[in-house]
A and B are shown apart, each in its own frame.
Chain A
């Protein structure tokens, strides 16, 4: 079983649509959770952290379900500029106390006019 699993998509949606991405992780000891965004031929950039209580940043809402080892990202009122790959990231602590981030393969979103 892969450590971090995402549906690769692509998700092809019209402008204004609401779209949701899911991510599951295998290690129950995982400690920190993030969504990153990667544009074509660019480096990944942090979109938002994911907190146990759920959190919102404008049109973006992230949820964490530790019991089900599941993370989600909801994008409301999709814009053309939201087209990108969305990467789920889960961080574990290794011996010595360092934090190791593990990436999912990413979910591709295409927003069309």
Chain B
């Protein structure tokens, strides 16, 4: 248990479905992140929230919609996804300050889009 919990761990959805991924951290961190990990590719940063404000949106398609209601929770809302969106989605948290921005990851949500 890393202190960052992601649910669900596995998700299979059709291209017309709407689903959400949830992330919760119990570490008292003030920044949260969504990363996408596909086979043979580096981790791709999708969204960053610091103190519940979005500070980075890395040109992610609008079919991915993040939500950060407080500093402990982060959601990724999914709708009308494509098969190429199938990947491992990793949530992470950190203290957003110099020298302390070490990421703690959750175990990930493995998404399959049919």
A residues with CB within 8 A of B: 4, 31-32, 34, 36, 42-46, 49, 87, 89, 91, 94, 96, 98-106
Contacts and interface: CB of A to CB of B under 8 A. Distances in A.
B42 A94 contact: no
A45 to B, nearest CB: 7
A99 B42 contact: no
B60 interface: no
How big is the B interface, by class? Answer: 20 to 34
B24 to A, nearest CB: 15
A100 B48 contact: yes
B2 to A, nearest CB: 7
Given A43-B90, A43-B106, A99 B101 contact: yes
Contacts of A36: 103
- For A32, A34, A91, A99, the residue with the greatest tally of chain B CB atoms inside 10 Å of its CB is A99
Given A43-B108, A103-B42, A98 B102 contact: no
Interface string B14-32: 0000000000000000010
A32 B107 CA distance: 24
A38 B89 CA distance: 14
B41 A100 contact: no
Nearest to A96: B55
Contact of A49 (B102, B105, B108): B102
